């Protein structure tokens, strides 16, 4: 059986900046990288989830969020 964990992006992995689509404003939460590495070492599949109400409210398009969800694209972390 495989183990997986679902992790919310905003306020858990990265500091929450409301309606942010600017990757330059991304700042990892304290200890997030270490926690992800520990989970990975223990053979968990890491799944990042996010509720993006800014899309529903018309602040930005779903395509504008692609950089946030390409694995490791903005987080600059090594999960070896």
Q: Catalytic residue among 8, 27, 67, 78, which? A: 8
pLDDT of 80 strictly over 70: no
Specify whether 10 is catalytic: yes
Return all residues near 74 (Cβ < 8 A) that are at least 6 apart: 23, 26, 67, 68
Number of neighbours of residue 5 by Cβ within 10 angstroms: 14
Tell me the whole-structure pTM to 2 decimals. Answer: 0.71
Summarised one tens digit per residue, pLDDT across range 18-32 is: 998 888 888 889 999
Q: Catalytic residue among 10, 64, 67, 78, which? A: 10
Confidence of residue 77 (pLDDT cuts 50, 70, 90): low
Tokens 């390409």, residue located = 70
Strands 44-49 and 3-8: parallel
Specify whether 64 is catalytic: no
Summarised one tens digit per residue, pLDDT across range 39-76 is: 999 999 988 888 888 999 999 998 888 776 665 554 55
Q: Which domains does the chain have, with CATH numbers?
A: 3-69 (3.40.50.1000)
């Amino acid at each position: 059986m495989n183990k997986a964990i679902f992790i919310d992006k905003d306020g858990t992995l990265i500091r929450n900046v409301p309606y942010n689509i600017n990757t330059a404003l991304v700042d990892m939460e304290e200890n997030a990288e270490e926690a992800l590495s520990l989970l990975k070492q223990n053979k968990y599949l890491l799944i990042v989830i996010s509720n993006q109400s800014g899309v529903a409210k018309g602040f930005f398009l779903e395509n504008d969020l692609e950089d946030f969800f390409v694995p490791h694209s903005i987080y600059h972390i090594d999960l070896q």
